[in-house]
Chain A
Amino acid sequence: MTGTGFKRWFHRFGSLPYFYDVSARWAVWLAVPAVVLIGYALVAGLFVVPPDYQQGDVFRIIYIHVPSAWLSLFGYTAMAVAGVVALVWRLKIAEIFIVAAAPVGASFTFLALVTGAIWGEPTWGTYWVWDARLTSELILLFLYLGVIALHQAIESPRTAARACALLSIVGVINVPIIHYSVVWWTTLHQGSTVSLTGGSKMDADMLWPLLAGALGFTFLFGWLTLWGMRVQLLWRERRSRWVMKRITHG
């Protein structure tokens, strides 16, 4: 892309009505792969893949659990990147992304915790252990909730979004520190109780649906966030003419 081409693209991207119109088309390109990939992952994971030689059928929850956990981290990192973009270039779209991605990311974090607990009961005999990964994931959930709460508390949408941008940047610096401190804390207590990799390599038959699931969940994340952004956009600009035009004319 040439310099001027990029500039034009940047400015067009900064235009909210333009984004609103284009994002409707993008949503399709996110939704179709999301449905196909998650569908494949679920069908293959639940019916095709053979049961684990140790855990039996219980392990099949991995096809929800691991993609959710991946997205909990991906979502927060994406929010922090958008936070830098929002604060440095003052791009409104990036602000809206943070606001829209926070609830989606928090949901995936919650899903990862819940599926982990459900998985933990039959395999480790307990719903919850103060393991490094579990604890970091729980704190990550609180970081998400903090961003959401801050956004709800501040009335002016621009100020709220920029405060959230700053908070997610501070949070993302802290996520690795928190993770390693929790690792240190648990190793002080006892040896690692659980290791998700378990030393045993995954068979390719089991791995492909998992990768497809992770990719599909990522598309789902993008899709949900995009719709959240569109809603945010309409709400934020509800007094502007272009919103009126689009709502009255469909």
Chain B
Amino acid sequence: MTSVFSAVLQRDLTVALRQRGTLVHHLMFFVLVVALFPLGTNTDGTVLVAVAPALIWMGVLLSVLLSLNDLFKADHEYGMLTQYLIADEPLAIIVAAKVLAYWLTSGAIFVITGPVLVLMLGVPVAALPVMIAALALGTPVLAMIGAIGSALTLSLPRAGLLLSLLIFPLYVPVLIFGAGAMRAAIVGLPVAGALYVLGALCLLAVTLAPWVIAAALRVGLDT
């Protein structure tokens, strides 16, 4: 069971790292969304600091939405997914490895670049550890829930808009607590509560979602 987990993880990481272009595109998209926003406001720093948490999370949500389309697509087209479905190993384990690989190559980007971007928006350096923690705890939830939607819409030709309708309402708690922790950190309020809730959401998603994703794949591929 652990061997299949690490095998799938290794394979997906290798594939992702050999398609560096895609990784860079997602990074560029995220940076552009955040970087264009100030151009629509004035250069007054207070406005940007106030909206920085919301802006970062909107950038993350949109980038996740874009990249989620491809999560199972290539495996589906090459027939790899069918092999996963009929494999002896539990599908949930395989799926968990896939989502972990996906998170390492996308969610981790936000965790690294997010703090740099909020510094550009004028957020004090003291708030950065909380930002990183919030992103590190929140993005796995986004990846897990998003994978459910991605699996459900797998065989549909243009799933992008539908996917956003399916998963964005489910992202509300992460958005609220993720941005809430950042806002609290900026004004110096206690942040532990929000981070604990984010951690709880993260645990809930990591433990339950793989089974739901596996079921969704079986439904989506009609087996």
Q: Which residues of A contact B170 (CB under 8 A)?
A: 143, 170-171, 174, 178
Q: Which residues of B contact A159 (CB under 8 A)?
A: 219-220, 222
Residue of B nearest to A148 (CB): B165
Smallest distance from the beta carbon of B54 to chain A beta carbons, Å? Answer: 11
Main secondary structure of the interface of B (DSSP, over half): helix
Give chain B interface residues in 70-99, CB to chain A under 8 Å.
none
Cα–Cα, bound, A139→B167 (Å): 11
Of the candidates A163, A181, A188, which one forms a contact with B220 in the assembled complex, judged by CB atoms under 8 Å apart?
A163
Interface size (A, Cβ < 8 Å)?
29
Is A162 an interface position by the 8 A CB rule?
yes
Of the candidates A142, A153, A184, which one forms a contact with B162 in the assembled complex, judged by CB atoms under 8 Å apart?
A153
Cα–Cα, bound, A200→B202 (Å): 40
Is A87 an interface position by the 8 A CB rule?
yes
Asked, given contacts A159-B220, A170-B148, whether A146 binds B169 with beta carbons under 8 Å apart, the answer is yes
Across the interface, do A181 and B162 meet the contact criterion of CB distance under 8 Å? no
Is B5 an interface position by the 8 A CB rule?
no
Smallest distance from the beta carbon of B206 to chain A beta carbons, Å? Answer: 14
Q: Which residues of B contact A162 (CB under 8 A)?
A: 219
Residue of A nearest to B156 (CB): A153
12 contacts between A and B (CB under 8 A): A143-B170, A154-B156, A158-B222, A163-B152, A163-B220, A166-B148, A166-B216, A170-B212, A174-B169, A181-B172, A184-B180, A188-B180
> Which of A's residues lie within 8 Å of B, judged by CB?
87, 139, 142-143, 145-146, 149-150, 153-154, 156, 158-159, 162-163, 166-167, 169-171, 173-174, 177-178, 181-182, 184-185, 188
> Which of B's residues lie within 8 Å of A, judged by CB?
145, 148, 152-153, 155-156, 159, 162, 165-166, 168-170, 172-173, 176-177, 180, 183-184, 197, 201, 208, 212, 215-216, 219-220, 222
The 8 closest A-B pairs by CB, nearest first: A181-B173, A142-B169, A185-B176, A181-B176, A162-B219, A146-B166, A146-B165, A139-B169
